[in-house]
Structure 1
Amino acid sequence: MFKGLCRLTSVAALVCSTFSTALGAESGKQVYTGTLGKTPIVLEVNADGGGDVGGRYFYQKYRKDLMLSGKKVGQTLVLDEVPLRGDQDAPHPTIRLQPKPDGWSGEWRSPEGKVLKVDLQQANIAPAPAATVPFLTTLRDQSPYEYLRLQGLDLKKGKAETFMGYSLQWWIEPKSETTLFEVVSGYTAAERQRINQQLMGRLWQEVAGKFDCEASAGETFYAQTVEPLWMGPSTISVSIATEYSCGGAYTDENDMPLNLDVKTGKTLTLEDVLWLGQGKPLHYEREYNDATPSSESYDAYSDYRTKTLAPWLVQQLSALYPDEMKTTTEREDGCIYGDEQPWTYPSWYFTKSGIKLVPSFPHISSMCRDTAFSVLPYNLIQQHPGSAALQLP
């Protein structure tokens, strides 16, 4: 069962040929399912209108991308496999496809002359059931190729534990080794349902993220660490830290805590908790299933973060932690905590005594992100409430 997609429905039952709609046409990308030889594959092609064609495909058994590049010659697609690693100039397999009423058919040919039949039909995916987590509903509509990559994956039950009086059940997706937990007791049934939809949505988002990273050129590495940080009657914070290298020169780290409103199940932004501006709080950070905000809203949000929030945070933290906020000339580690830039877009999470702010530093200064201080007390936050009605600890 595809746990988190729909608790009562197998993903296999979601892919059907009846009462379904073709996906991906509006973006110019077309997604197909079928076989290469006898092996099931999913293929995506994207024509630019000028004859050039790009694409990718994966074997359902392995779920790792093989990139395609080629041209449309008359009605025929001629696509070369482009290796993500290794000798780019070596001979590569080629796929030649001819159109048919519901898709494409043709052959795959290796450099050594081996030939396998290719048969593809346009992917049709049934509407997502009502119980589907929001992330997967959005993924189905916006990226059917990635949605199909997750098809058939199962979560395995992991350890059970108690954290701050709440019972947790951990789950792991074995292929990506991605893990997260559900809350099984300590909140009302309705609260647990909303909370767990967010947690399972984030789990599948992390699974998709690892597969996407592995599709990058060059060497890749992707490791995730999850830790519950705070659970209370009004709020939840979970650390989801990722160390990764997706084809780049260096390994980087990303710690994006998931902060939830227990009553609504919605994710919380810093402006939901702390607001220093005029009028209603600005919201540019969005959940994965929200529409993309306009550039005008981002400009206002960025202006607030740069000119109002960051200077105020530096002022407050300098008053609270003067030794830790010393300038770089007074420090041996080179971490410039007194600068406003690291506090413009900090990560954050709830603690017993206040909101812990995690400054943002580039990769070369990543050690500066790990601060033992930078907690903004709740009595200070309560003087500048955000848009969410929260019972702070």
Structure 2
Amino acid sequence: MKKYFLSLFLLYSTIAICQSKIYYLEGTLGKSTIFMTVQVYKSDNEANLNAVYFYKSSLKDIKLEGKLKDGNNFTFYFKPGDNITEKFYLKKSGNNFDGFWYDAKEKQLAVHLEPVNFDNYKSNLKIRFEDERLNLVKYKFLEFKKQKTTIYNNKEFVWYSEKHCDTDFFRLGNNFSEKNKTLINPVLEKIHIENTLAQLNCASSFGYSQGKGIEGNTTINFLNNDLLGFQVSMFWDCGGAHPDFGSSGYLIDLNNGKQYGIDDILAFDKSVTGDSENNFDAFSKYRNDFFSPKLLAVINSQEHFEKPKNEDDYCDYTNEEYWDFPSWSYTEKGIEFTPIFYRAARSCEEPFLVPFEKLKKYKNPKFPYEFK
């Protein structure tokens, strides 16, 4: 996992260095409204293009390959398999792009694109990376609809789906207090929005998105007067070399809307820090030096792991490195931890429940609630 964060940092650092220009465009393809991101990279005196576009009506990304000629003539095409199913011929003039779109049967439609006026899409949505700015556009057109109501610990949860893709998520229902709903439902809506945008952005060069590239489910695992715990598990296949899967645990304070990370809940040393964004070195050192060995010791006291004797057995649960960034879920009986293995051994990942009684001595002093 540490290597993953380092690779991600290097990837975006390299992109930032090589990237020469990025365009955010909106306009028309025939009678349809579309939005497009065009990225131009220069490497060894060659220009490389990436482009993604989506229709206002669907919001699902379509990834395009591209070529640039004479600095202003752009060719983009979508080529799943060996067949080009659509292509753009666009010429840049000033800040605008004009030209034509063709389908596989050479049907032609006029295209006009100009810079996106982001003043029309202002919101409190936070953008992590520069090339995600068109999420501000998608956000404006999201539509959530009520699907069903479920009961957990005698409390009502209302589940919503999003019109454009296959995502559903819950909000607090009628028998929660108005204070709870006012504080927590915006937090839950934000998570639903993030998951929805991830689904809409899940695009492949091998086929058109059906809004189902990320499959998953949400499970409510804990509820009392103060805390709501749930887990989001996902399997995604967005066109990379390998599909992948993972889960995220959430624990939300019903009294103030605060979201607790695992380091807010447990402290295996006074150097504990959950601030990976501002001090990743300290965060990583704590996880490596204290969190992983002590968590493994606690789990091993009940599981009695043994180091595999067969070289073909990848499931070495005695290796501390697999426990430094585990996924977790706060449940009624304790906290479940799932070690994170390298890709070839991902099948080894399974949850291990640690009862609250075994974790009491490690409760973070700043965590305001007792383990029960």
TM-score, normalised with respect to structure 2: 0.80
State the AA in 2 paired with 1:94.
Answer: F
Letter of the structure 1 residue corresponding to residue 337 of structure 2: L
- How far apart, in 1, do the equivalents of 2:252 and 2:306 lie? 33
Tell me, in whole angstroms, the C-alpha distance in 2 between the residues paired with 1:140 and 1:151.
19
Amino acid at match of 1:162: I
User: Is residue 2:155 matched to residue 1:166?
Assistant: yes
Q: Unmatched 5+ residue regions in structure 1?
A: 1-25, 286-292
Q: Is the 8 A contact 1:94 1:110 kept in 2?
A: no
Residue in 2 aligned with 1:216?
204
What displacement does 1:37 show? 1.3
Q: 1:237 to 1:106 in 2, by over 3 A?
A: same
- Residue 52 of structure 1: CA displacement? 4.6
Gap regions ≥5 residues in structure 2: 1-18
Cα distance, 1:193–1:316 mapped onto 2, change above 3 Å: same
For 2:167, the aligned partner's letter is T
Higher relative contact order (CA closer than 8 Å, sequence separation 6+):
1
| Residue type at the aligned position of 2:73 | L
Q: Is the 8 A contact 1:357 1:376 kept in 2?
A: no
CA gap 1:144/1:171 in 2 versus in 1, 3 angstroms: same
Cross-structure match for 1:176: 165
Q: How far apart are 1:56 and its partner, in Å?
A: 2.2
By how many angstroms is 1:242 displaced? 0.8
Q: Go from structure 1 to structure 2 and tell me whether the alpha carbon gap of 1:216 and 1:392 turns closer, same or farther (over 3 Å shift).
A: same
1:86 partnered with 2:77: no
Partner of 1:244: 236
- Aligned positions of 1:50-65 closer than 5 A: 52-62=48-58, 63-65=60-62
Give how far 1:170 is off.
0.4
Corresponding residue SS for 1:149: helix
Query: SS of the residue aligned with 1:275?
Result: coil
Q: Which moved more, 1:52-61 or 1:32-41?
A: 52-61
RMSD between superposed Cα atoms in Å: 3.2
CA contact (8 A) 2:329 2:337 kept: yes
Matched, 1:272 2:260: no
Change (3 A) 1:110 1:183: closer
Distance 1:352 1:126 in 2: 46
Query: What is the number of residues matched between the two proteins?
Result: 345
**3-state SS of 1:176 partner:** coil
Residue aligned with 2:165, SS: coil
Does the Cα contact within 8 Å between 1:226 and 1:238 map onto a contact in 2?
Answer: yes
SS at match of 1:117: strand
Question: Could you tell me which amino acid in structure 1 is paired with residue 283 of structure 2?
Answer: Y
- Is the Cα–Cα contact under 8 Å of residues 234 and 392 in structure 1 kept in the other structure? no
Which of these residues, 261, 265, 273, is aligned with residue 282 of structure 1? 273
Partner of 1:347 in structure 2?
Answer: 327
| Pick aligned residue for 1:122 from 76, 99, 115 | 115
**1:156 counterpart (135, 145, 148):** 145
2:25 maps to 1:29: no
The answer to whether the 8 Å contact 1:236/1:260 transfers is: yes
Preserved contact between residue 33 and residue 122 of structure 1 (Cα < 8 Å): yes
Q: What does residue 20 of structure 1 align with? A: none
Q: Give the match for residue 368 of structure 2.
A: 389
Q: Deviations over 1:4-60 (max 9, x none)?
A: xxxxxxxxxxxxxxxxxxxxxx99422121101111111112234665543222222
The corresponding residue for 1:259 is 251
Partner of 1:317: 299
How far did 1:391 drift? Answer: 4.3
> For the Cα contact (< 8 Å) 2:26–2:33, is it kept in 1?
yes
Matched, 1:197 2:186: yes
TM score, norm. by length of structure 1 = 0.76
Q: What are the Cα deviations for residues 101-133 of structure 1, in whole angstroms up to 9, with x where unaligned?
A: x6333333557654322122321234777xx6x
CA distance in 2, matches of 1:32, 1:344: 42
Describe how 1:40-51 pairs up with structure 2 within 5 A.
40-48=33-41
- Say which of 369, 376, 379 aligns to 2:349: 369
| Alpha-carbon distance change, 333 to 55 in structure 1, aligned in 2, over 3 angstroms | closer
Q: Does the 8 Å contact 2:52/2:61 carry over to 1?
A: no
Are the aligned partners of 2:147 and 2:160 in contact in 1 as well (CA < 8 Å)? yes
